[in-house]
């Protein structure tokens, strides 16, 4: 039976600097999917790449080892193997299923209960479907993971008490500016995360929103939501002179705000305080800017400090969610075990069908039955066999689910009992 495996890294196991090395752009992700799908040991593959985690979900052949995915990532991103092993994890079988269900339910998120991870898994699945790198098992697994995520959110209060990135942005800003009224906000990039953060700031009193982006159309659309202004980013940082709060969330591969130009901007600002929240991975803002006087720079890992103060309130809901996830993981493991029984069940039915055909041929010839009579006898015989095999089939599936014995031994017993390996050699 093919194996479900996961290789990945997340905010739990790795610092931002390492996660940056492992991220995939959209084009890299698609090309990697297609490359791995053609690996002779890999049957199915999907990739989740976010600011907090990168995970590969795969179905590999029984003889294959999970290291084939690790080896590929090390070579692709040119990462030191010792560093890779230190900051990554891998799971197989039931542990992989449970992990994915926990991720989809946001129980493994930096912000427990956040909703974005579920849409990110959906997007990851859609990308894999588009690249045609999934099949029956991974399709079923990812579909079920999305269903589990929805169930956890709908049957607990975990979502209503979730701490979002936007909430954290407000809390960080309030540490510097007690009152956000009349404060101006600039968003660099026009993505969803940045947009949500700005919306939260505006709802808490901030005003004078401006959107800076590479493309004018997107910038204008987001600016219109807040009655703000749109500016094209052209490496000129003058847009920072009049702003109080900066939210940066782009997909740029390098720093957009660098230390030396920023120092000049601060002189023009007369060193007025500025809060800069960089939620991009890779980062948009040179981290050394945090050393500039009256500059308060936070990256996505800094958000943990505020998040931790809210964990206790959601602990009970998380426990309930864990129960749901474990129940669903157990059910899916039973489904996997039943799949292992399918070839034997199919062979059992073929064995009986072959017996039916042999005996019907003899019966029809001896009794000289008409076509209508033959059809009646054939239908009756098949119905009898179907009824006879119903309970044994059900019991066989249950045997695969509940038995602690080696499943190969179960298969061998059934094959020997009904001579399934010889159904082409009937007397």
Q: What is the dihedral of CA 255, 257, 260, 264, to 10 degrees?
A: 170
Contact 166, 304 (CB under 8 A): no
The single residue listed with the structure tokens 């009992």 is: 417
- Cα-flanking dihedrals φ and ψ of residue 334, to 5°? -65, -40
Contact 8, 55 (CB under 8 A): yes
The single residue listed with the structure tokens 């009986």 is: 352
Q: Which of 176, 121, 191 is nearest to 153 (CA)?
A: 121
Q: How far apart are CA 73 and CA 321, in angstroms?
A: 32
Q: How far apart are CA 335 and CA 217, in angstroms?
A: 48
Helix and strand totals (H; E) in the chain: 15, 10
51 has catalytic annotation: yes
Burial 45-61 (b: 16+ CB within 10 A, else e): bbbbbbbbbbbbbbbbe
Q: How far apart are CA 82 and CA 75, in angstroms?
A: 13
Q: Provide the angle, in degrees to the nearest 10, between the axes of the packed helices 371-402 and 407-418.
A: 150
Q: How far apart are CA 37 and CA 20, in angstroms?
A: 24
Q: How far apart are CA 131 and CA 202, in angstroms?
A: 40
Within 13 Å of residue 196, how many CA atoms lie on the same side as its CB? 13
Joined together, the tokens standing for residue 205 give 């009193």
Contact 29, 49 (CB under 8 A): yes
Between the alpha carbon of residue 25 and those of residues 32, 119, 291, 333, 350, the distances in Å are 10, 17, 30, 33, 49
Q: Which of 203, 210, 192, 211 is nearest to 170 (CA)?
A: 203
Burial degree of 299 (CB within 10 A; 0-12, 13-18, 19+): buried
Active-site option among 51, 361, 363, 399: 51
Q: Which of 59, 50, 51, 191 is nearest to 121 (CA)?
A: 50
Catalytic positions: 51
């Amino acid at each position: 039976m093919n194996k479900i495996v996961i290789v990945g890294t997340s905010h739990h196991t790795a610092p931002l600097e390492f996660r940056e090395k492992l991220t995939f752009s959209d084009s890299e992700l698609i090309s990697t999917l297609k490359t791995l799908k053609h690996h002779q040991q890999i049957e199915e593959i999907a990739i989740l790449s976010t600011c907090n985690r990168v995970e590969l979900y795969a179905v590999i052949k029984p003889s294959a080892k999970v290291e084939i995915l690790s080896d590929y990532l090390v070579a692709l991103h040119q990462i030191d193997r010792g560093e890779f092993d230190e900051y990554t994890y891998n799971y197989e079988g039931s542990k992989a299923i449970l992990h994915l269900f926990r991720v989809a339910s946001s129980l493994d998120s930096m912000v427990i209960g956040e909703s974005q991870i579920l849409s990110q898994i959906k997007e990851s699945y859609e990308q894999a479907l588009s690249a045609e790198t999934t099949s029956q098992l991974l399709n079923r697994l990812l579909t079920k993971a999305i269903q589990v995520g929805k169930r956890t959110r709908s049957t607990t209060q975990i979502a209503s008490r979730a701490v979002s990135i936007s909430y954290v942005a407000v809390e960080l800003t309030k540490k510097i500016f007690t009152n956000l009224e009349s404060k101006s906000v600039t968003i660099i990039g026009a993505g969803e995360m940045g947009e949500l953060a700005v919306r939260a700031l505006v709802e808490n009193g901030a005003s004078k929103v401006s959107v800076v982006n590479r493309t004018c159309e997107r910038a204008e659309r987001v600016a219109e939501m807040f009655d703000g202004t749109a500016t094209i980013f052209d490496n000129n940082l003058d847009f920072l002179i009049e702003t109080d709060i900066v939210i940066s969330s782009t997909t740029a591969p390098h720093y957009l705000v660098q230390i030396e130009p920023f120092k000049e901007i601060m002189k023009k600002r007369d060193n007025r305080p500025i809060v800069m929240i960089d939620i991009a991975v890779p980062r948009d803002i040179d981290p050394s800017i945090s050393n500039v006087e009256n500059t308060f720079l936070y990256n996505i890992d800094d958000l943990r400090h505020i998040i931790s103060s809210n964990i206790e309130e959601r602990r009970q809901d998380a426990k309930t969610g864990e129960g749901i996830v474990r129940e669903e993981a157990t059910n899916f493991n039973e489904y996997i075990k039943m799949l292992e029984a399918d070839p034997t069940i199919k062979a059992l039915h073929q064995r009986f069908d072959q017996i039916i055909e042999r005996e019907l041929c003899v019966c029809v010839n001896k009794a000289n039955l008409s076509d209508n009579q033959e059809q009646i006898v054939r239908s009756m015989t098949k119905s009898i066999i179907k009824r006879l095999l119903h309970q044994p089939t059900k019991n066989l599936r249950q045997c695969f689910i509940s038995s602690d014995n080696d499943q190969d031994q179960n298969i061998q017993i059934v094959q020997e009992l009904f001579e399934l390996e010889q159904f082409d050699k009937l007397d």
